[in-house]
Amino acid sequence: MGPPGSGKGTISTRIVKDFNLKHLSSGDLLRSQILNKTTAGQLAKDYIDHGKLVPDNVMVDLILNELQNMKSHSWLLDGFPRTVTQAGALLKKEPIDLVVNLNVPFEVIIDRIKGRWTHAPSGRIYHTEFNPPKVQGKDDVTGEDLIQRDDDKPETVRKRLETYQNNTQPVLQYFRDHGLLEEFAGRYSNEIWPKVHSFLSTKTEPLQYTHYGE
Ligand code: G5P
Ligand code: MG
């Protein structure tokens, strides 16, 4: 959990590298549905472009369906659930061990999103200063072009933050009430990451510890 641009994708990538988990990002899943012009993708596009949430029934079906294919693995969800209805639907079907919330101030986020570049097919994330690609505008692994997300325009980012406050913040209380929530506050992913790693290590054996930053 965490507001738009708080580093969910960044921290999730680090978690799955150091722990034996599979990563499922609801945003990446939606963007791939849009790219493939599926029914769900066509419906979702308008909501995403306006910084609004995709309807709960569409989202719950998509994610629960995807989790069916991951039965043999432990997993990490990024961006789902985002409403109390989604959280209830998830808990009814799947046992959840832990919810991690990234608490990053909004003013840090607005600044950050401007510099984000994405490799759409893989969901790999870059940032012009924080995590630049080796070659400007190109993905490190495939060499393909990087894009800026349509919903990263400043006015859409503001709308996404508002949606987060109205719809997603109540989910934090829901998980707190279930005794599942662990919060990590900070302005930088490199500051938050060691705390997340050491906390997760008390729950499951890490494969390794990767250090980032100075
Ligand atoms: P998404 O795709 O889930 P958001 O808005 O929740 O989108 P987003 O934007 O993907 O979240 P993030 O994953 O939290 O952000 O952050 P990130 O990509 O790791 O980091 C942001 C940028 O900052 C990157 O460029 C990164 O390199 C950089 N960065 C990270 N750490 C640092 C740092 O320490 N310093 C600096 N300088 N930079 C840093 O959802 C998109 C839309 O899909 C729909 C909604 O419409 C949503 O708006 N959707 C759903 N709708 C309904 N229900 C759901 N469950 C839905 N899930 C998605
Ligand atoms: Mg993300």
Q: Encode pLDDT of 83-119 as tens digits.
A: 999 999 999 999 999 999 999 998 899 889 989 999 9
Cβ(133)–Cβ(140) below 8 Å? yes
The residues near 71 (Cβ < 8 Å, ≥ 6 apart) are: none
Say whether the peptide bond before residue 105 is cis (omega within 30 degrees of 0): no
Rounded distance from Cα 206 to ligand 1 centre (Å): 25
Amino acid at 21: L
Q: Mean pLDDT, to the nearest integer, of 194-214?
A: 95
pLDDT for position 213: 86
Lining residues, ligand 1, CB within 6 Å: 2, 4-10, 26-27, 30, 47-48, 51-54, 59, 79-82, 86, 112-113, 115-116, 125-127, 129-131, 151, 160, 188-190
Q: Mean pLDDT, to the nearest integer, of 13-39?
A: 96
Q: ipTM of the assembly?
A: 0.98
Cβ(185)–Cβ(105) below 8 Å? no
Give residue for tokens 């961006």. 79
Rounded distance from Cα 5 to ligand 1 centre (Å): 4
Q: Mean pLDDT, to the nearest integer, of 185-206?
A: 96
pLDDT for position 130: 92
Percent of the chain at pLDDT exceeding 70? 100
Please state whether beta strands 124-127 and 116-119 pair in parallel, antiparallel, or not at all (unpaired): antiparallel
* Phi and psi, residue 158, nearest 5°: -60, -40
